[in-house]
Amino acid sequence: MSDAFQKIKEVLAAVNAATPKTSEELEAFRIQYLGSKGMLKNLMEEIKTVANEQKREFGQQINALKQTAEDKFKSLKNSLDARADASEALDLTRPGEPLPLGSRHPVSITMSRIIEIFVRQGFSVADGPEVEHDWYNFTAMNTPEDHPARDMQDTFYVMDAPGMLLRTHTSNVQARVMTTRKPPIRIIAPGRVYRNETISARSHAQFHQLEGLYIDEGVSFADMKQTLLYFAKEMFGAPKIRLRPSFFPFTEPSAEMDIWLGTDTEENTRLTKGTGWLEILGCGMVDPQVLENCGIDAKKYSGYAFGMGIERQALRLFNIPDIRMLFENDVRFLRQFSSSIV
Ligand code: DAH
């Protein structure tokens, strides 16, 4: 047998003995045997030295050798790749998948800001039911059945449940708290309320209010004024407030509070209808009858209360043109608040 056949045997033995362990070593293996200047290419050249009748046999052996080298290369490459994938999956230093940032609802953001201002003044948050008994929503709040004040608020009554309704204001929490706790009482009650109203860009059949109640010995109108002035300054940066006489069945005297926006900008002129004043809330001294209805001695205790809507404040705060947008839950709208500071 000629030298050329001997060389094939040697190269085959070398290919079989090779144990490349890293991708660099495997690449060196490929270049050494299968590369364009590799050993197989060199062996091909040897065909010139082979006798004619053996050329065919030589060619077959070269092909078999090439196949062996290629198979070895492929299987080693596959196992190295698989190992690389596996170690990648276990790479604990890789950064995590980014989580999409959620967003708070503009009503929640507005509510949180208001709550924070009153909590700073010593108020704590109280809660009450949205499906409420007539007594807490109206009667205890000095609004008996035939009272004309009931017409002020169009009520949703619960079918087949006499005396049950969807609360028309958060004032029901006043009655809930006063009948279960003893003064001093200093609470705010944020929550959802319902009224049978025509839905438009400015009003909705469901919305949010925040109620305030402070009862102790010797609480005065001046205390209320100071608390509300602080709120107006903190919430709106308003330099002054105005208390206009008003009427609510549950307070005496009653007032509505306006904040001073001025008429410097076109928007403020429009919002205040040219007066510079914007109405924000209703308030007053808790009517002694309400205290008595709830079992609190009106000779010993006095208090003030206030109630405000949240949606209109949210519309102003975020420049939202239509109240309905707050209840549609369109994610394209809601996502815009994902970076809002609470
Ligand atoms: N409940 C009133 C409303 O829904 C708001 C209100 C006014 C609440 C005066 C009060 C208050 O506590 O003292 O319009």
Tell me the per-residue pLDDT of 72-106, one tens digit each, with 9 for 90 and over: 999 999 988 888 877 777 778 888 888 777 889 99
Which domain, by its residues, includes 12? Answer: 3-89
Q: Both 288 and 169 in a single domain?
A: yes
- Domain with residue 322: its CATH number is 3.30.930.10
282, pLDDT greater than 60: yes
CB of 188 shorter than 6 A to ligand 1: no
In this structure, is residue 154 part of a structural domain? yes
Per the structure, the count of domains in the chain is 2
Nearest alpha carbon to residue 4 among 49, 59, 68, 41: 49
In this structure, is residue 100 part of a structural domain? no
Q: Both 136 and 191 in a single domain?
A: yes
Tell me the per-residue pLDDT of 151-208, one tens digit each, with 9 for 90 and over: 656 899 898 999 899 999 999 999 999 999 999 999 999 999 999 889 988 889 999 9
User: pTM for this one?
Assistant: 0.72
1, pLDDT greater than 70: no
- Nearest atom, ligand 1, residue 152 CA: 14
Residue range 314-329: average pLDDT? 92
Instruction: For residue 63, report the distance from its CA to the centre of ligand 1, in Å.
Output: 96
Q: Both 297 and 202 in a single domain?
A: yes
Q: Both 143 and 177 in a single domain?
A: yes
Torsion on CA atoms 305, 310, 315, 316, rounded to nearest 10: 30
- Nearest atom, ligand 1, residue 284 CA: 13
Q: Both 131 and 268 in a single domain?
A: yes
Which residue, by CA, sits nearest to atom 6 of ligand 1?
A: 307
Burial of 284 (0-12, 13-18, 19+ CB in 10 A): buried
In this structure, is residue 101 part of a structural domain? no
Amino acid sitting at position 32 = Q
Q: Both 65 and 210 in a single domain?
A: no
Q: Both 112 and 54 in a single domain?
A: no
Q: What is the mean pLDDT of the chain?
A: 92
342, pLDDT greater than 70: no
- Distance (Å, whole) CA 159 – CA 54: 104
- Nearest atom, ligand 1, residue 251 CA: 13
Q: Both 199 and 284 in a single domain?
A: yes
Instruction: For residue 340, report the distance from its CA to the centre of ligand 1, in Å.
Output: 29
Instruction: For residue 165, report the distance from its CA to the centre of ligand 1, in Å.
Output: 18
Q: Both 139 and 227 in a single domain?
A: yes
Tell me the per-residue pLDDT of 283-307, one tens digit each, with 9 for 90 and over: 999 999 999 999 999 999 999 999 9
Q: Both 137 and 189 in a single domain?
A: yes
Q: Both 178 and 110 in a single domain?
A: yes
CB count, 10 Å around CB of 274? Answer: 10
- Position 82 scores a pLDDT of 85
Q: Both 61 and 110 in a single domain?
A: no
User: Model confidence at 340, in pLDDT bands (50, 70, 90)?
Assistant: low
In this structure, is residue 14 part of a structural domain? yes
Tell me the per-residue pLDDT of 17-43, one tens digit each, with 9 for 90 and over: 999 999 899 999 999 999 989 888 888
243 and 256 Cβ atoms separated by less than 8 Å: yes
Identify the H or E element spanning 286. Answer: strand 277-286
- Position 2 scores a pLDDT of 66
In this structure, is residue 95 part of a structural domain? no
- Position 83 scores a pLDDT of 83
In this structure, is residue 94 part of a structural domain? no
251 or 43, which is more confident: 251
